[in-house]
Structure 1
């Protein structure tokens, strides 16, 4: 996913490792912290697989807001929880 863009992902395939939500570049996600439950950060070899629930929380209120996927068998991406997203557009 190129920086500064997003893609809605709601047409999931059966048995896919895709997550429903808005896909963004990991470097575009600000104001988040790692989930306090370390089990949410389990992965195979390179990073979190994202299969154990949201693993990013809002640094202000602690709400679960996104899932980081960065393992060897997943895309390196962040999938924002649909309920945590408010789309806004700003002219450059």
Structure 2
């Protein structure tokens, strides 16, 4: 899997500005008369490493504080753990392989 220039795999990394360490999650709170409430989720270790990078988001269809907290954690952990991508190209020889 090497292109015409002899380059195989090309790796890239996410920008530090895309690695959020705190999230304010807005959700519909039935305990607050179905008004919007905000759940703050932070990763203290990541804040020490990268600084505080706040993201504000709406959890569409979310009606519990716990679910809002999990949504915020998912955003933080995904941004911190999925930082690398790889690109490569295949010629026609790559088309003959099937999964399984």
Q: Which structure would you say has the larger Rg?
A: 2
What band does the TM-score fall into relative to the shorter chain? under 0.3
TM-score by length of 2: 0.21
- Larger relative contact order (CA 8 Å, sep ≥ 6): 2
| Structure having the larger proportion of residues in helix | 2
